[in-house]
Amino acid sequence: MSAKKPVKKTVKATSKKKEKQPLKPRIAKITVNIGVGEAGEKLSKAEQVLQSLTGQQPIQTISKTTSKDWGLREMMAIGCKVTLRKKAADKFLIEALKTRENKIADYAFDDQGNFSFGIPDHTLFEGQKYDPNIGIFGMDICVTIEKPGYRIKHRRIDRRKIPHRHQVTREETSKFIAETFNVEVVS
């Protein structure tokens, strides 16, 4: 007598396509730059302004070329900059956008999803007062946006390019900034 083995019933799983959830953009870094065009006392005052605004020690930017018309020599210090990341970047961006009344022009966004804007006067920031010994300095703010997974672009071993489907677009960045920081993108 041979016992019959029970027949296993296979149930076909309904093939539901997994909906792809798009990766959300995030702020990779913010670079704040003050260009003064010359070394010396003016540059040290600009460094003081950047340090008081960001709380970090700025580094000097160096001229790459020589220009007699502008009085520049190669390797001459002509400005200073600070790079902010994570919470410090978010906090600074909120303060910087307040000086612009939470409005950014649509031409400020580039094709890689980054955006830049300028602030003509550092005294527009909250808590900053005019000091006749320092003067007034304007600055450029460049915000770099990326999605999770951009590490492959910067890693040391097995570095790769970011595929087009994974890159941040101008529209994604403007939508992200509008929703996250309550900013109006003006055309």
pLDDT digits 0-9 by tens, 76-92: 888 999 999 999 999 99
pLDDT (0 to 100) of residue 165: 85
User: What domains can be seen in the chain, in order of their start residue?
Assistant: 26-186 (3.30.1440.10)
> Average of pLDDT values for 64-77?
83
Give 70 or 167, the one with higher predicted confidence. 167
What secondary structure letter does DSSP report for 109? B
In angstroms, rounded to a whole number, what is the distance separating the alpha carbons of residues 147 and 166?
8
Mean pLDDT of 59-64: 89
pLDDT band at 69 (very low <50, low <70, confident <90, very high): confident
pLDDT of 169 above 60? yes
The pLDDT of residue 93 is above 70: yes
Burial (0-12, 13-18, 19+ Cβ within 10 Å), 48: middle
pLDDT of residue 94: 93
SS3 99: helix
Residue type present at position 50: L
Distance of alpha carbon 122 from the chain centroid: 19
